[in-house]
Amino acid sequence: MILYTTTFTTCECEHKQHETVVYFMRYHRIPNETVRRLPIYLRGLLSLREEGRKSISSRNLAEFLGYNPWQIRKDFSYFGGFGTRGIGYDVEKLIKQVKKILKIDTVHKVALVGVGNLGLAVLAYPGFKMYGFDIVAAFDSNPEKIGKKVTNIEIEDVSNLWMLKKRKIDLAIIAVPREAAQKIADALVKASIKGILNFSPCRIAVPKKVKVITIDIAMDLARLPYYMPASH
């Protein structure tokens, strides 16, 4: 299906006379691989901005990110392409556009469930804010943890998960033991959570309207030796 959503943004770099960049979405469905690469592009662009770069050519951007220029151009072409011929990309503008596509141009409130070893590390990690994620609540079932404060967040009783909807929290991170994960996911769905990042090493079943991404470092590690050169 072809979907034409057209917005016009004017080039604000020193080459104002250059053509206006047209942003329109040609495709209804963007390949998952492209969506997976967008946060990687964003991370690179944020580093470039930190270094003070204002604009970058597509070749240099590709080199910086470690991708082929055609790959980046192809990925951006799904959204109409963002560069201006002969100039390349305006870093600030591209950051804004990629954030908009990923729907992280506004702050998302996030709840953490399970404040153990992993949960504590998640709470201590400052990097989520850069991508517009604010962990505003943490839950656990251990009475000894409930009421304690970690990084300014008071650990709440997990039986209060139902309150998430009222608090306008629509994302959650699960960091509980595997046996508890499905029950927690069910409670999160009931509380109208729309996206779950699951660290528990199991598949959790949720209705279609809820997106789950499971991260398992052990599984990633398990496929690493396959790619390693054989030692003799």
HSE, CB side, 13 Å, CA atoms: give it for residue 128.
Answer: 19
Neighbours of 196 (CB within 10 A): 23
- Binder of ligand NAD out of 184, 188, 204, 206 (CB under 6 A): 184
- What is the total count of residues that contact ligand NAD (CB under 6 A)? 25
Kindly state the smallest distance separating residue 10's Cβ from ligand NAD, in Å.
44
Kindly state the smallest distance separating residue 200's Cβ from ligand NAD, in Å.
4
In degrees rounded to 5, what are phi and psi of residue 121? -65, -40
Kindly state the smallest distance separating residue 121's Cβ from ligand NAD, in Å.
8
Q: Which is closer to ligand NAD, CB of 95 or CB of 122?
A: 122
Kindly state the smallest distance separating residue 48's Cβ from ligand NAD, in Å.
29
- Burial group, residue 42, by CB count within 10 angstroms (0-12, 13-18, 19+): buried
- Strands 195-198, 171-174: pairing is parallel
Q: State the DSSP code for 2.
A: B
Under the binding rule (CB under 6 A), the answer on residue 176 touching ligand NAD is yes
Q: Which is closer to ligand NAD, CB of 88 or CB of 119?
A: 119
Strand ranges (E), the chain = 6-9, 21-24, 55-56, 89-90, 108-113, 133-140, 149-150, 153-157, 171-174, 195-198, 211-214
Q: Which is closer to ligand NAD, CB of 11 or CB of 196?
A: 196
Sketch the per residue contact string, 133 through 172, with ligand NAD: x for CB under 6 A, - otherwise: ------xxxx--x------------x--------------
Q: Which is closer to ligand NAD, CB of 175 or CB of 191?
A: 175
Q: Which residues, numbered 114-133, are part of the site for ligand NAD (CB under 6 A)?
A: 114-119
Kindly state the smallest distance separating residue 218's Cβ from ligand NAD, in Å.
6
Which residues are CB-neighbours of 17 under 8 A, at least 6 positions away?
A: none
Kindly state the smallest distance separating residue 148's Cβ from ligand NAD, in Å.
11
Under the binding rule (CB under 6 A), the answer on residue 222 touching ligand NAD is no
Under the binding rule (CB under 6 A), the answer on residue 216 touching ligand NAD is yes
- Strands 149-150, 153-157: pairing is antiparallel
Under the binding rule (CB under 6 A), the answer on residue 113 touching ligand NAD is yes
- Find how far residue 88's CA is from the centre of its chain: 25
- Strands 89-90, 55-56: pairing is antiparallel
* Type of residue numbered 214: T
Q: Which residues contact ligand NAD (rule: CB under 6 A)?
A: 113-119, 139-142, 145, 158, 175-178, 180, 184, 199-201, 215-217
